[in-house]
Amino acid sequence: MDRRQFLQTSASVSAASAVGTLAQAQAPQTRDTPGDRRPNLIWLFSDQHRSQAMGCTGDPNAYTPTIDTCAVFGSHFVNAVSGFPLCCPFRGSVLTSRYPHKCVPGHEYPLPDGQPTLAQPFQQAGYHTAYIGKWHLAGYKERNGRAAMHITDPNKRGGFDHWVGYENNNSQWDSWVHGGEGKDAFHYRLPGYETDELTNLLIRYIRDRSEARKNGDDKPFFAILSVQPPHDPYVAPEEYMQRYTPAKIELRANVPRGGRAEEIARRDLAGYYAMIANWDHNIARVQKALQDVEMAFNTHLIIMSDHGDMHGSHGEFRKTSPWEESIRVPFIITGAQHRYDGYLNNRPTAPLNYVDIAPTSLGLCGIEKPDWMEGHDYSHYRLQSRQAARKAEPESAFLQCVIPTGHGNSINKPWRGLVTKDGWKIACFEGLVWQMFNLNEDPYELTNLAHNNTVTAERRKLLGQLQQWVSDTGDRFTIPEQ
């Protein structure tokens, strides 16, 4: 049996086992019936994990039985995007539901002073809140020293009740976390691989909340686990690295063959998929921890990432471009099911963007979004309720690169764009159409229609929608004439 057959067989067995376990956990249980208690919510938040790199999206390399099962039992938003495919802007927007040009416009920019985050409306609704892992919103500049050694000002930690994290790291075997303040401050090196150790911290938090509940503190909780992997450097524990050989990686159709792009892509992807397999394992650990303390039925899980990774597609690497491999991200809501009725394979096509995640999270817990949030609440897709759908949903998602990073192998120029629910994409530089694709016919974006006269009418329509996004969000950008 070759490696691919092994992975496929193992995935089938593991997925079948996980389906049975999860179905049992999600079925009504007398000891875990939520009653009138509001559900808990956990974000399982990875970094640089493109949506194409999962078994449930058809990647033959990806070993993700846990994620795949969550996609079957949950709501898998197949059109979810990172509207600004870069760490800091995404993180600022996901926590505030405000677009980057109003919040965190570029790399190593801080959250604005006084800007509320998602923690506050949860706290006002009686929730305990926690943040564990990568933060990257303190505005620390790497040129001033290693960000892992920077202590984030307690006033710049988003207002969470419990905060254990780091500004930035990029060294998964040498990861440091800090928290507390004054005499209770701490800063220490995690004893093992980052994803494993941060998951340990979340599991400890889950157990602590369970103990608090036993002792009469019945507050629900909202917790975020934010891990660096599968962000480069592409390394994982040895047991996962051994599963992948660069020469046997199946590349996407838009990776140029025979040159530097293929060589680097194969090398990096071997580690990338190993990191994803490890992340999948840790998601299963979180699920088991919830089951162990009888919280599985009353806890929503959101599996997500901040942006994708090009890995040689179109000869590019990393992020910040509007290509599919850069902007498409996993977004799966699973876990708590108020009415378990065999409602499987729910695949909403809504163009969910980063500003929509906070309102959707609040909606899952029955909390109204505050006026300062700009995004849309898509929780009804998971809750199987039409009540929240009465407001018209966007037909497209707004894409931006406000302040470029200067990183190599990526687009170092401001751009704006959109991707529609029905499969069209357009991206522009100031005053110039740059990219246009019909993703239904051209999913690998091999034919750029930006200046093709056969799609003039569609291009005018898309440019009109893009101008509307710029106007509606208060952005400043010159859209090309239609």
Contacts with 314 (C-beta within 8 Å, 6 or more apart), sequence order: 254, 323, 445
pLDDT band at residue 411 under the 50/70/90 scheme: confident
Domain extents for the chain?
Answer: 3-392, 414-472
* CA distance linking residue 75 with residue 57, whole number of Å: 14
* CA 481/CA 332 separation, integer angstroms: 38
Which run of H or E residues covers position 205?
helix 194-214
Q: How far apart are the C-alpha atoms of 451 and 213, rounded to whole Å?
A: 61
* 80-89, 99-108, 368-377, 380-389: segment of lowest average pLDDT: 380-389
pLDDT tens digits for range 93-109? 999 999 999 999 999 99
CA–CA distance, 417 with 181 (Å, rounded to integer): 42
What does pLDDT average to over the chain?
A: 89
Strand order in the sheet with 162-166: 75-76, 331-335, 299-305, 40-46, 221-226, 128-134, 162-166, 176-179, 186-189
Pair of tokens at residue 223? 């917790």
Give the C-alpha separation, 355 to 362, whole Å.
12
Rounded to an integer, what distance in angstroms lies between the CA atom of residue 63 and that of residue 234? Answer: 16
Residue 412's pLDDT band, with cuts at 50, 70 and 90, is confident
Q: How confident is the model at residue 229 (pLDDT cuts 50, 70, 90)?
A: very high
CATH architecture of 3-392: 3-Layer(aba) Sandwich (3.40)
Instruction: Specify the pLDDT at position 19.
Output: 39
* Predicted TM-score of the model (pTM): 0.90
Q: Check whether 14 has a pLDDT greater than 70.
A: no
To which H or E segment does residue 427 belong?
strand 424-429
The residue-averaged pLDDT of 154-178 equals 95
